[in-house]
Amino acid sequence: MRRPRACLVSAIRPARDVRTFHREARSLVRAGWDVVVVGRDPGPPAVVDGVHVVPLPRATGVGRAVQQLRALRLALATRADVYQVTDVELLPAALLLKRAGRAVVYDCIEDYPAYMELKAWLPPPLRRPARSAVAAVERLVAPRLDAVLAADEGTAERLRGYGAAVCVVHNFPRRDEFAPAAADGERVHDVVYHGSLPPYHLDAMAAIAAALRRQIPAARWAIAGEPDSPASRSRFDRAVARDGLVGRVWLLGRLPFGRIPALLLRARTGVVPLPDVPKFRTNVPMKLFEFLAAGVPAVASDLPPTRRLLAGDDVAVLVPPGDHEAFAEALAELLRDRDRAAALARRGRAAVADRFHWEREERTLTGVYASLFWGPGVAPVAEEMRA
């Protein structure tokens, strides 16, 4: 039996993105699909974990428009049975693919309209019009595609309001990604953060670190990520120096995904300081569930998506967003009370093993793809396709 082919394409995201590559693409390979990922990658074409990686160079400014055309051309060359686009910028291309008779999925991993209001490169007067424009594109295109995946219920609700066929596929970690060793190693980092570093995250962590120093002067921070701009990095460095945090707060730079579990498994606490803005009243912070999976007691902003998913489970400490003193107090309490921290870690790991894991989500993903290729209820098992 011929193996169906899927092409997951982005013009701006890394080809080896955590969700697209490590979770979706690898799940589809295990389900018997031939999978090609087109995305930003510095190397030559390669096959990694059974996934064909087709690289795009990094593009900025007006080059991003050319990049979209290049990404579309490379995607078409794969002659895939199902195409998945992960950028809102590629939605016009998705509509062209659909009109050409291809099956097309839109993987909406962010509240893209609300995200426009956080883009530092956009002049403030243009952010609200940009939000409206992005929403208009989604409203026009999403209902015309074969399926839409959303990474959270809030985004799904908005897209269903446009008339789109939406399935929620949360971006939860795999259960084995952050599995501890037989005995956890020494927890050498008192506080860890990993992920994107826009100015609002860096500024918040500088303020929280300063507040925590007043309670636990020797607290050590490890921050894995790359600041969005030299100006943001410079402002952070000045705050670290001003508040006496040099040698206590380490900015590690961006780490490949394969190194994140080792970082988290050496952390005593984690922090997720999301601001109270429209985007984060919709989107779920993936890193919080990675902390839970790694047994890292975390302090996170008390925002509706997180509160709703945790449903009152005592697996993380939620504090008012933007209250840097409250973040510091919660972190200090966990660092001092090791029994409380260990109890949170046990419950967090149990919650991931039970509910918050990718293996549960991938059934929805592979079911969507199977229905697009074979029709509802008629997909063969992966072993039959490999035979």
Query: How many domains is the chain built from?
Result: 2
Q: Indicate if 120 and 269 belong to the same structural domain.
A: no
pLDDT in tens, 36-50: 999 999 889 999 999
Q: Indicate if 22 and 160 belong to the same structural domain.
A: yes
Half-sphere exposure of 117 (CA within 13 A, CB side): 13
Does residue 370 register a pLDDT over 70? Answer: yes
Q: Indicate if 376 and 332 belong to the same structural domain.
A: no
Residue 127 lies in domain:
5-172+357-386
Q: Indicate if 91 and 218 belong to the same structural domain.
A: no
pLDDT in tens, 180-203: 654 456 788 999 999 999 999 999
Residue with tokens 């300063």: 210
- Answer for the pair 123, 48: CB distance below 8 angstroms, yes or no: no
pLDDT at 60: 66
Q: Indicate if 201 and 345 belong to the same structural domain.
A: yes
Q: Indicate if 378 and 334 belong to the same structural domain.
A: no
Does residue 383 register a pLDDT over 50? Answer: no
pTM strictly above 0.85? yes
C-alpha span between 9 and 198 (Å, rounded): 24
Does residue 51 register a pLDDT over 50? Answer: yes
Mean pLDDT over all residues of the chain?
A: 92
Does residue 122 register a pLDDT over 60? Answer: yes
Q: Indicate if 54 and 195 belong to the same structural domain.
A: no
Confirm whether 181 is domain-assigned.
Answer: no
Confirm whether 178 is domain-assigned.
Answer: no
Which ranges constitute the DSSP H helices of 14-102?
A: 26-30, 63-77, 91-99
Sign of CA dihedral 56, 94, 277, 312: negative
Q: Indicate if 246 and 361 belong to the same structural domain.
A: no
pLDDT in tens, 222-275: 999 999 889 999 999 999 999 999 999 999 999 998 899 999 999 999 999 999
Q: Indicate if 156 and 136 belong to the same structural domain.
A: yes
